[in-house]
Amino acid sequence: MKFGLRHLLPALLFLAGASAQAQSTIKIGAPLALTGGLADEGKKQQVAYDMWVKRVNATGGIKVGAQKMKVELVTYDYQSDEKRAQQLAEKLITQDKVSFLTSPFGSGHTKVVAGVAERYGVPVMAPVASSESVFNQGYKFMFGTLAPNGGLVDTMLKTFPKQLPNVKKIAILGREDVFPRSMAATMKELADKAGMQVVHNELYPVGALDHSASLSKIKSSGADWIYITGYSKDLILARKQMADLGVTAPIVTMITGPAYQEFIDALGPLAENITSTTWWHHLTQYKSNDVWGSTKAFYDEFHAREKHDPDYVHASSAAALVALQMAIEKAGTLDKAKVRDALASLDVITFFGPIKFGANGMNSGRDLPIIQVQNKKVVVLFPEAVKQANLKAVTAR
């Protein structure tokens, strides 16, 4: 018996030390689309996460009760494949033993990851999902930093007719996917309520490589506002085909094309005067108590690193982890249920702006910026406090 205990004691001490060492790190899982159709968006999330992790760890980590714990981000490329995203979320929880998750880009892929997290009671931060249909599934452990989609449409319908009062007829073309479909449906609903005439309303399939038939119908509809939803590659293709077919209107809105620099770079002159809305713009300045302390500090660090302006994907991705950090520090523990409760009661100002999660886990709505490409640059048309220019009509090219 003595022999067994004498030899067992060093092993027990070793295991205790290893356990204490393991507990000194907070593991956060992040399935990212680093290849495939959503790779551009996934890499933006990756950049923002890396910025946050380095900032937090440089200060010693996140304060959990009386100690500080450094952060380890465990990432996998889910290759823009929904089923793989689901499988990797399961792996991160059951094999990698992460305490928390972030969700991928887009409402559809967020939904499948959130479903896995909900089964295991793991809080999941959703940085780039805004479709209310996803958040209305009854999930208790999902929290999103973007405001609901409706705010993106409502501001345009209130603002554009004041500046171009002759605009009465709108044509809607949307991608058959969770977020773009939601944005198309929201525009149809709110345009009807606003008394506008919807002269075309159609969805195109995921992976569509030709929009010419739909665009020809829009051309013959006499629309003076063309509103198209989709992801960057869809919108770039649609804009080029519009030019080829001579399809134009005083207002051309692409959700959320102009929010991305790659949209402007790919289209050159064809991007001029295209409008959109976004959840965040760096001109909307906030002071905060997070790891950046202000919008300007986040902007300056990002611009120095990446040599271009951040967009809402970068900012929201960083803000999701900022919110998680604040909730952990508020809870004073890594207990998942307690961190979940701390997230639910969070009411803070961050570099990204206000974060206060509603009953369904979505960030509260606020005045969301309307933007337009003018002279190869994105300018803000609304809100008034940061307005840079007036709406310009699109000219035929």
**Domains of the chain (ranges, CATH numbers):** 2-147+283-356 (3.40.50.2300), 150-278+369-386 (3.40.50.2300)
Residue 246 scores a pLDDT above 60: yes
Contacts of 208 (CB under 8 A, 6+ apart): 175, 234
Radius of gyration, alpha carbons of the chain: 23
Q: Confidence class of residue 397 from pLDDT cuts 50, 70 and 90?
A: low
Over residues 194-238, the pLDDT tens digits come to 999 999 999 999 999 999 999 999 999 999 999 999 999 999 999
Q: Confidence class of residue 385 from pLDDT cuts 50, 70 and 90?
A: confident
Of 297, 313, 306, 275, which Cα lies nearest the Cα of 350? 297
Q: Which pair of structure tokens corresponds to residue 222?
A: 């006499």
Whole-prediction pTM value?
0.81
Q: Which helix (H) or strand (E) holds 15?
A: helix 2-23
Q: Which pair of structure tokens corresponds to residue 392?
A: 């310009």
Adjacent-strand bridge partners of 353 = 350
For residue 353, give the 3-state DSSP assignment. strand
pLDDT at 18: 43
pLDDT at 23: 58
pLDDT at 285: 86
Per-residue DSSP letter, 121: T
pLDDT mean across residues, the chain: 92
Of 383, 384, 389, which Cα lies nearest the Cα of 365? 383
Task: Provide the percentage of residues in the chain whose pLDDT is more than 70.
Answer: 93
Helices first, then strands: H and E counts in the chain:
13, 15
Residue 15 scores a pLDDT above 70: no
User: Do the Cβ atoms of 218 and 247 come closer than 8 Å?
Assistant: yes
Over residues 18-64, the pLDDT tens digits come to 443 445 899 999 999 999 989 999 999 999 999 999 999 999 999 99
Instruction: Please indicate whether residue 24 or residue 183 has the higher confidence score (pLDDT).
Output: 183
Contacts of 54 (CB under 8 A, 6+ apart): none
- Which residue matches tokens 């002159």? 269
Can you tell me the mean pLDDT for 156-178? Answer: 94
Distance CA 149, CA 129 (A): 9
Distance CA 26, CA 63 (A): 11
Contacts of 372 (CB under 8 A, 6+ apart): 258, 273, 274, 275, 276, 378, 379, 381, 389, 391, 392
pLDDT at 19: 42
Task: Provide the percentage of residues in the chain whose pLDDT is more than 90.
Answer: 81
Instruction: Please indicate whether residue 386 or residue 85 has the higher confidence score (pLDDT).
Output: 85
User: Do the Cβ atoms of 50 and 316 come closer than 8 Å?
Assistant: no
For residue 212, give the 3-state DSSP assignment. helix
Of 149, 140, 99, which Cα lies nearest the Cα of 359? 140
